[in-house]
Structure 1
Amino acid sequence: MKKYFYLVATPESIIVSHLQPHDFGNYLSVGTQKQLHGQVIFFEFDPDHTKLHQDYINLKMKPYDDGEPKRSVYLSIYRCFEAIPLRALRNLYLVTDDGKVLEMAAHDYIPKTTKEIHLYQQLIPVTTRVASKLSPVDFIRRLTDMNQPVSAPKVFLVDLKLNDWGTNPDGPLSDLPYPNPDHLRDCIKKLKLSSARQTKTVLRFLRDDISYRTIQTGFFVGDQKQYLFYPFPSEKDLEEKYYSWWRSALVRHF
């Protein structure tokens, strides 16, 4: 049977499986008995660009006696994103908590020219939510600058919506389901009032799943030298091409 290699962010791990990506995402989200429920975010990656324990993989990756495929064999659960080079990453998959899977490919990122505040949800190696004046690429470069006292070799994050608050925090937030919106507004105002400050922590760690409907541009994974951008589909595409997934995402997180 063919082997598929996955870099999972929820929680961070490297897994090899006989299941192709959509089946694997469904399996991680709801399990074989459909009694589990949980959001899943993961990449498929090319093992030829990585150093893996091949003897262990060959030993463990055998179908069950009844012919059933091996669903998951864990290869690592620690500092996994550091171990997988960016050139090895293939598509990114977002899974709802009832097992619907959305596939996203990497594309070029075109930054906006407007000066607005961004809201970043970090996923790896920490889950801090941060408001920042920095563009996604500059934010990644700052976080991965090893000359700074607080840094990481590689980061994975998502850019979240602020609606009009990115430029005018005194306006309405609309229907975005962020906890403690008054605190978020205060963080944005403090950033705008300070010419020197570039970032402001909004949440120290993520307490729940990401509401997919709050995603602004998409997901970024990168280090000091390079990055990959996985754009989130437009609202039109979500409603026309990915309706089943989008409906599940809305129902579960509205």
Structure 2
Amino acid sequence: MSTYLYLSLIPEALVASMLAPDDFGLYYAIGSAKRSRGQAIFFSVDRDKIADAGFPLADVEARCVAHSDGRPKSSLYLSIYRVLERIPRDALTALHLATDDGRVLTIQPQEFVADGEERTHLYQEICPVTPRIVSHLNPAEFAGFITDTDRNVHVPRIAFTELTLGNLKNDPDHHDIDNLPYPNIGHLRDCLRELAKAPDKANKTVLRQMTQEVLFRTIRNGVFIGDSTGITAFPLPTRDTLEREHLAWWRSAQSTFGQ
């Protein structure tokens, strides 16, 4: 059997497994006696491109072996600390989003292209930190800002997603919020108003840390990995494509509700 390497974002970990992505996503989301059920966000990792990253890879095949009854080894944790920053962006070959009932959507990396739309952005940082931020910056600019080593507060690499703001993206006072499933919409409006009044201010923190799972149905345009050298995009398919080609995953994502 093949041995796969995965970078999990929630929690942050490098994991070896004998399970292919769809089966690993089902295992990781549904859980076991040791793990509660919940959605999963993880990447396939090119082993050759992390050979010099300091991970214990030499004996992976010797440790990641089938059980005595023939069942494949589901997970072997190789690292759980400062993993994302040690994995080059080009080593992440695919993103996998697993719903809490184990449906997996796989997304290939693409070069980031700004959509050119003038709007306020809502970002959920996923790893290694988890604040929720409103920003004037587009995803590439935001990644550059967060990983800028000239700033006192920065991270080496950041995984984040842009969430939908609906009608609030250009008007914090719009009466129709279109059922945005975020906690304390009043506070979100206040943050958007404050940012709008300060064009020289890049970002405003909405939540200091993530209080729930990222609702996949609120992802506006994909998941991003950025650092001081650039950004890699994993764009979510269009609504039409999701309904035509990934309906089971999309229905599962829509059935998950937040606060």
Which of 193, 198, 208 in structure 1 is aligned with 2:202?
A: 198
Is residue 44 of structure 2 the alignment partner of residue 41 of structure 1? no
Bigger CA drift: 151-160 or 51-60? 51-60
Which of 174, 178, 181 in structure 2 is aligned with 1:177?
A: 181
Specify the SS of the correspondent of 1:75: strand
Cα distance in 2 for partners of 1:87, 1:107 equals: 11
1:61-80 maps to which residues of 2 (within 5 A)? Answer: 61-80=64-83
- Output the aligned Cα RMSD: 1.6
Specify the SS of the correspondent of 1:252: coil
Q: Which residue of 2 is the match for residue 226 of structure 1?
A: 230
Deviations 1:29-68 (A, max 9, x none): 11357x9420100000100011332334133112111211
Q: Contact 2:96–2:104 (CA<8 Å) still a contact in 1?
A: yes
Which of 120, 124, 128 in structure 2 is aligned with 1:121?
A: 124
Runs of 4+ in 1 over 4 A off after TM superposition: none
**Pairwise CA distance, 1:176:** 1.1
Specify the SS of the correspondent of 2:62: helix
What's the TM-score once normalised by structure 1's chain length?
Answer: 0.96
Deviations 1:50-99 (A, max 9, x none): 13323341331121112111110000000110111111111100011111
1:1-254 maps to which residues of 2 (within 5 A)? Answer: 1-31=1-31, 36-51=36-51, 52-171=55-174, 172-253=176-257
What's the TM-score once normalised by structure 2's chain length?
Answer: 0.94
Q: Contact 2:47–2:91 (CA<8 Å) still a contact in 1?
A: yes
Q: How many residues align?
A: 254
**Pairwise CA distance, 1:160:** 0.5
Stretches of structure 2 that go unaligned for 5 or more consecutive residues are: none
Cα distance in 1 for partners of 2:58, 2:108 equals: 31
**Pairwise CA distance, 1:236:** 0.7
Cα distance in 2 for partners of 1:65, 1:165 equals: 56
Cα distance in 1 for partners of 2:32, 2:81 equals: 25
Cα distance in 2 for partners of 1:144, 1:246 equals: 32
Cα distance in 2 for partners of 1:36, 1:184 equals: 30
Deviations 1:139-189 (A, max 9, x none): 000111111011010000000101121111111211110100010011011
- Output the amino acid matched with 2:256: R
Q: Contact 2:49–2:91 (CA<8 Å) still a contact in 1?
A: yes
